[in-house]
Every structure is written in structure tokens, then in C-alpha cells.
Amino acid sequence: MSSSSGSLFGDACPLTITPAQLQTLNPDSVAILDASWHMPNAPRNPHSEWLSLRIPGSHFLDLDAVASAHELGLKHMMPSPQVFAEACETFGITPRSHVVIYDTHGIFSSPRALFMFRAFGHYRSSILDGGLPAWVAHGCPTRCGEPGSTTRSNYWTPQLDTDVVTGYNEISSNARYDPAREPIADIVLDARSRERYLGTGAEPRPGLSSGHIPYSFSLPFTMLLDTQRMPTPLPVTSLPVLDSDPDAKPSSSPARPPFPAWLPETYTTLKSTTRLISAIQDALSTSGASDVLIKDVLESHRNVIASCGSGMTAGVVWLALRMLGVGDRKKRVGIYDESWTGYAMRPESKIVKEDNVKV
């Protein structure tokens, strides 16, 4: 595929790409976004971290800013088409751009950003498997400092696929039906830790009850990921270059900034297809799902809704299922946008604190 198509992959951009694949993309056709996000109680600033270490040419995507206001004050809700288009124009993204998204954990918040792009019909989009740490570990170049200006683009106002974004009314209505007995019920998968799902572990948001939505099943997002260790020492070729000195040559010169202290010693990547299937089967079986329901999930016989604490790591469940081809048929895979925070904040919501009964 020629670079004039806008992407090495054309319209068939994969959900994930490797650092080596990203390096082969034509810089004129790719738009790279750092979509790092940290839990509210984490003492980290993703924008400051982006300034101190990033992939060359990347922009910082603030998922809390490119979002819609919410009646309960929730963050990073799906943006309106106008807000999404405005952000794309600010980043210089066109409908032909291959958007590559990464985060500083490896895989954590980038799948949520990918879900946003694909829900707005921008299928020329991928995430960098392993994120910035994998890029550094593979000896790829980095930048730091204030970036230069970006030429604003034109991006038409897209249409949101509302079938993949679930709201409270839909989730509370669905919670009345046992999917083991009611074929009309969507299957809800909870990406939080099993302790939070069972109500035995505290929520990170003060005053919020733990537990789960009736008839939902526990699928902790961490079960879908592998942990990789950064090499020691880190490759000199990945040492950051000041954006004001882009012609600097890779070297061990002390004039080049060091790697920042926040760069993790370990990072996450998505499990292989075979191991994703095993992890999903094990988690859902433990949570009380029958073999029939597990098959319904993996073979796209039911709509599936991913949920988590606030709609962020539900993206990891969404990504894993899409990597397995779930949702390729008539049935969809979506995300409950406000997730557990929005659900549990409402006094009328029914909260369960035990496993589903096996049937």
C-alpha cells in the first residue's frame, strides 16, 4: 500500500501495532497520541510526563478534557462529535490519518482512546502494544521539552455509533434480566478487581460502595495483560532529545536529558490470542458464567458491555474481545460509559456483593 493511501495498512488498520511497525509508518500519514491517564489518587501528571519523555511528533490527548460534561460530574465521558472533531483538528488529524495511540503504563488508558476513535468511525487507528515503555525498551528515539507548533487540519463532524456506548438507563434496565435465562439480556463484563466486584475491596473513590451490577460477571482487565520488564541498562538510543535540537545524534553525551524517574521498571502488553481466550474462560467461569454464556461471549451470540470503575479500563476488555473477533458479526461489543462510579452514585441502583449462581 503506498503512502498516498494515508496509511501503510490502508483502511484495514490493526487494533494493535508494535514499535517496529510504528517506525515503518510514513510520518506524513501517521498521527501519534499519548493518551496516558492516572487514577485520581495517583501523584502523577500525564501532561508533564509527556513533556519530559515522548515519542517524536506525538501530541498529548487529555481524555478528561476531550469529553462531555456529565450530570454527576464524572470525567472522560464520550465527547460530542463537535468536541471530538475539534480535538482532531487541533492535533492535525485528518480522516485519512492513521492514528496511533499509546500510554505510559503499556496498556491501560490507550484502549479507551482507541474505542473513542473507532466509535466515531475513525477505523484508521491503532494502539502501540506496550506503549511508551515498549518503545523505549526497543531502543526507539524519544523527545522531550516544549514541542513545536502543529498545523491545524480539517476534520468533518463525525457521527457517533451510539450502539456501542451504553448509558445508565440501558444498563439498569438490562440488570433486571438474568442472561442465563433471558436471551434478550446483554452480557455485562466488569473489568475491576475481583475484590471490588465482590464488595470485599474498597473503591478508590472515597465514599463509593463496592459491589457489582446484578447479573454482571467479573473479568479483571489485569488478567488480559502480560507484564514485561524494562531492560537494564536502558538503550542509549532511546535517550530523549530536546525538541529544540532534533538533529542531535544518539550518544551517551551528558548534554542529553536522562530518562525521567517515573519511567516504569515494568510495563504491560496484551496477551496472545490463545491466552486471551483462556483468561476470559477462567475468569467468567469463576464468576459463575455457564459454558453456554462463555460461548455466547466468545462467538458473538450476545451483545457484550464492558464496565469498570469509570469507563477507562473497560477499554482493555473491549480491546481483548475485539482482538478475538467478538463484535465482528451482528452483535456488538460496547462500553458502559460512566461505569461503576456513575452506577453506584445513584441511590436507586441495586448493588450485589456476591458471585452469580452457576446454572
Which has more pLDDT, 246 or 241? 241
8: pLDDT confidence band, cut at 50, 70 and 90?
A: low
C-beta contacts of 170-174 below 8 A and 24+ residues apart: 171/213, 171/305, 171/307, 171/336, 171/343, 172/343, 172/348, 172/349, 174/305
Distance CA 286, CA 356 (A): 9
Q: Which residue ranges form the domains of the chain, and what is each CATH number?
A: 165-226+269-356 (3.40.250.10)
Mean pLDDT of all residues in the chain?
A: 93
3-state helix, strand, coil in the chain (%, to 5): 30, 15, 55
Task: Give the tens place of pLDDT for each residue, 22-49.
Answer: 999 999 999 999 999 998 888 899 999 9
Q: Is the pLDDT of residue 252 over 70?
A: no
> Parallel, antiparallel, or unpaired: how do β-strands 142-144 and 240-242 relate?
parallel
Task: Give the tens place of pLDDT for each residue, 73-112.
Answer: 999 999 999 999 999 999 999 999 999 999 999 999 999 9
Task: Give the tens place of pLDDT for each residue, 192-231.
Answer: 999 999 999 999 988 999 999 999 999 999 999 999 999 9
With a pLDDT cut of 70, the percent of the chain lying above it is 94
**Per-residue CA distances from 283 to 192, 217, 237 (Å):** 12, 8, 40
249: pLDDT confidence band, cut at 50, 70 and 90?
A: low
Which has more pLDDT, 245 or 282? 282
Q: How long is the chain?
A: 359
Q: Is the pLDDT of residue 311 over 70?
A: yes
Whole-model pTM?
0.94
Distance CA 331, CA 354 (A): 28
What sign has the CA pseudo-torsion 227, 231, 236, 242?
positive
Angle at 269 between CA 267 and CA 275, to 5 degrees: 135
Mean pLDDT of 122-129: 97
Q: Is the pLDDT of residue 330 over 90?
A: no
Residue 6: predicted pLDDT: 44
180: pLDDT confidence band, cut at 50, 70 and 90?
A: very high
Residue 43: predicted pLDDT: 87
Task: Give the tens place of pLDDT for each residue, 64-73.
Answer: 999 999 999 9
